Amino acid sequence: GIQVEQSPPDLILQEGANSTLRCNFSDSVNNLQWFHQNPWGQLINLFYIPSGTKQNGRLSATTVATERYSSLYISSSQTTDSGVYFCAAVSGNTPLVFGKGTRLSVIA
């Protein structure tokens, strides 16, 4: 099945800094999603982005399917951005496969 790898595994930022999280996948995908798990454990869907670029406030995501990667850009980070960011992909007719996540800590 498809392999999904995320980097970096851990990231510490000063409030106000920008960051890019990376997601590489081993096969062609027809579905790519980004999720944020907040410190209370809730999993929030950030983007459904099988290709192209989308923006939502300070967050934007880009998927380049031909190069088998997706990236999540966080600008002007805030402490509320802390948590774990997951990338998940579907290849063919299989359910979403999750990466191991990037743990982000934003310090005031």
- How near is the Cβ of 16 to other proteins at its closest, in Å? 26
* Of the candidates 94, 92, 88, the residue with the CA atom closest to the CA atom of residue 61: 88
SS3 label, residue 14: strand
Whether cis (ω within 30° of 0) applies to the bond prior to 50 is no
Cα–Cα dist 82/42, whole Å: 12
- How near is the Cβ of 11 to other proteins at its closest, in Å? 15
Nearest to other proteins of 74, 97 (CB atom): 97
Cα–Cα dist 31/10, whole Å: 25
Nearest to other proteins of 30, 79 (CB atom): 30
Which residues make up the interface to other proteins (CB under 8 A)? 30-31, 33, 35, 37, 41-45, 48, 50, 84, 86, 88, 90, 93-96, 98, 100-101, 103
- How near is the Cβ of 94 to other proteins at its closest, in Å? 7
- How near is the Cβ of 18 to other proteins at its closest, in Å? 24
Nearest to other proteins of 28, 76 (CB atom): 28
Cα–Cα dist 64/77, whole Å: 24
